[in-house]
Structure 1
């Protein structure tokens, strides 16, 4: 074994190099678990598993070492069910081609491993890095223990030490791969947030310098149009044109006010508010709007959920998200509003069964000037993101084309002791 240290390091390189190559040349964003197949990541995992199996290290006579377990685990945890299944089937088929004598044992073992990974993967993405490493390490310890027990019952005690040594090297490689993926994901997310902050800064400066100057002549123009509309000499068409002009000026005023709100976020008026009560009022307010749009709204709101926020701004966020959900539905759809508490956080979910969005559209949400609506500016959602960030919270969006979207607001819960 010790004579093959160079070959062992080569296998470590087989695991780590494809991951770095993927992030450097193939990846277009943070590696996030979705229902759709990430074909670039799948390709990298297949290359990884084939390379490590094609060049095994002979530990003892008739006993080879490779790290095919690592791409299998990574495929399920970061690629999803389909990606993991493809990698496992490809690996087993490759074993069959090269004539592995333990093919049936491998099928059973990896079937059990796949089932365990499927149980973990749903919660995996929401865990911290330390918890992710701990769970994967525990799973790997379980696999190593079963191997050692099998060798013990086969009276191959001499190979137990080598099995443990090989497993330690594989575990180090696996943990290193996970830490690289997580850290690169974090860097990409931070880079995305930095770019978004720079855009917000530019828009804020633009709003602060232009909005006031534009609003003053618009106010004067609106006033003169109102005076003109009162002239009895105007015919019906002329009055209608003036009314349309006033409506468009009002719409422009509303957009400018949004820009001013973006330029000067309100950090004052932060109180301990019952968001359950505010949410129920907003749902009741928006029920009229749902009727006009041939949709319905239902809610499941837990009582006595408190946060520290500006009441008016929080209402603005809730109205904006619910209104967007209603407008995303063509007809006969439902917007569902849920509110609950979990681990010291208040979770508010706004779900619709509307047209949905592509991953690219979801990625651009909250960016100034971007909107999925024909007449939208995107400023309303940008302000909503900014308000929630000001409250030390965040808005998470999941969506699928043709099935709808879910906007989840996560905010720190305010207890009576902290008020």
Structure 2
């Protein structure tokens, strides 16, 4: 006689899919994390489906026994959810059973007994460790199967057959053990993922804090030193002015570092509006022309009219950083090219320089906190620009070769006219 067939595997498949579906919804739908009642409702729904499917497509093993694994999702919900989950599942199970096969008192008695015992066992089950839950769930399922058999014999003239022993007493504890193992593995994986995300955030915060304190300490140390030198009585007025100018330059550098950090840290402003990309880029290029002339660099722009949605101030700051980096990448004379391309759905802005370029290792670290190829760079400008691009639903791509320069390609969704 064959006790394991396709019907048993189908029943297990229904149960496992419901467990994975519950884990997916609980992890990625924030609504179910707001209150416990929402989580329990989700558990009831996800376990009711396999119960009904198991009864709809039962296990045909022997002529004298038609069975299914409906008690497996029922007991899983009872162990993990307690009374608030077991009672709704009981009503669903009994209603579906009566609609399919008609009323039987023995069915009511058996599952009411399982509901009461499983719900009383639930608080203890939830306090156990992972390994203890595996053993306890299988053992409790086996005890309930024995108790249900004794109850069925006491109530009616019930005959215990070999197929019944396998289907109702042996298989369910093994199935429950397997399902609980899957559940605990998923919970552990989600917990590890949550901890990893927190650790990653803390690492970024600690890196930013350490880097900011280091970067700001340098200009402040310079200012402090020159202030002390200016106390000397025999110093000339010309030297004092020279020291003052250097101190002011270092203070401006410290202010720029703080501004970049605040731009990265604070949330994206709610004020968004249609932006005329060509006009905004023209403003940025106009502001940077004196800086480019100081470095002997030309800015060559090929712009096309286009409109997108975003924040004008942040947009200008983003491309101010990108074009400024292109200018500073030139050791000698050269040019920075700003080109626009517009298609049906996107506006693409390409900023290309003829500077020194970056290695593959440097390119892989582009946008990391406080990584810069410049001697006094902080890397915050690139990090802020990337954050602004992503907040405005844009995408970016960077290419670079040593001695050939760097190309930054940024694309934004185009505002389509109605």
TM-score normalised according to structure 2 size: 0.46
Larger radius of gyration: 2
